[in-house]
Amino acid sequence: MASQVATPTSLQTTATSSSTSLSSAGLSPSSPALLSPDDVELLAKLEQQNKLLETDSKSLRSMNGSRRNSGSSLVSSSSASSNLSHLEEDTWIMWGRIVNEWEEVRKKKEKMLKDLVRKGIPHHFRAIVWQLLCTAQNMPIKDQYSELLKMTSPCEKLIRRDIARTYPEHDFFKEKDSSGQEVLFNVMKAYSLVDREVGYCQGSAFIVGLLLMQMPEEEAFCVFVKLMQDYRLRELFKPSMAELGLCMYQFESMIQEQLPELHIHFQAQSFHTSMYASSWFLTIFLTSFPLPVATRIFDIFMCEGLEIVFRVGLAILQMNQTELIQLDMEGMLQHFQRVIPHQLDSGPDKVITAAYQVKYNGKKMKK
């Protein structure tokens, strides 16, 4: 399986070779300033590249396509103008150096790293950067993975039943008994054995499936373990789902405070938050939005945690408030399922920009 993917090792090699000739490029973590002029310029170039990529439907399709192509450039050959090639090269150089100097960059240039992640991690670098963001590399549990696969899990029948429903239109997963379905089963089974309390929870396979589009199964397993432990996901997926109830309460409080008219309308229609927002939290929008958009949001989730789900969720409601207020419960359900996903076909930049204009008070949320 590993041969099909740009593995962390190969990316590390790329990063090392990139950095040797770029020691003067201004991304040195020892720089006293938070952002050097070169950093600012590259950030601007990255933003420009994202705009070019998102107007190129072929590049969007390639990102949403077969995992067999996951080692190839996100930029399609038809769009590889010299301008885009230079932008892509700059992006590679910057991310190569970030990966190579990760600990220093994480400590001393955290704001710059957040800004870059919000603009999107280049497809080639996602495997290694996601592992670095959640500190999933070199986990001892990775050595247990092959042994776990030899064991029997009480959840196997349930996992098998749901596998075919996970990304049913994606080339890597859609064929019955395909290698994609097999590795997805393996990771879900292994996790159900190491965490008997949670076992298997419907919805978690979408997160694992996304990880498997980026990296081999052993690495995907380690990242999933980390996400469950450190990103509130384990609490969300516990049988009681008490944490999901808490998220619904917190999200509803944000609506009441920031979109009072919509909140009153939802109440009048008995349109409960869980009816549309549960899947947002349980699958980080992977079952609600186009895959390229959800993947960009997942980049931010890996860096900043569940806060981005609250932010994007409220931004979506703000963008649709006028239409929603005119609909009854059935109409609103249809709107969430059929209209909102297509609003994001042009890419994630608009909703991500709106998300960071949403008021989010971390202390208040904890309280």
Q: Which CATH architecture has domain 139-233?
A: Orthogonal Bundle (1.10)
Residues of the chain with pLDDT under 70: 1-84
For residues 121 and 299, is the Cβ–Cβ distance under 8 A? yes
Residues near 117 by beta carbon (within 8 Å), at least 6 away in sequence: 129, 133, 299, 300, 302, 303, 304
Closest CA to 48 of 97, 94, 88: 88
DSSP letter at 344? Answer: T
Neighbours of 296 (CB within 10 A): 26
Note the pLDDT of residue 216.
96
Q: What predicted TM-score, i.e. pTM, was given to this entire model?
A: 0.79
Give the pLDDT score at 44: 63
pLDDT at 40: 62
Q: What single letter denotes the amino acid at residue 130? A: W
* Rounded-to-integer distance, Cα 349 and Cα 351, Å: 6
Confidence at residue 130, expressed as pLDDT on a 0 to 100 scale: 98
- Residues with Cβ within 8 Å of 106's Cβ and at least 6 positions away in sequence, in order, are 113, 132
So what's the pLDDT on residue 91? 84
Residue boundaries of the structural domains of the chain? 139-233, 240-366
Q: What is the pLDDT of residue 9?
A: 38
Q: Which CATH number fits domain 240-366: 1.10.10.10, 1.10.472.80, 3.30.70.20, 1.10.357.10?
A: 1.10.472.80
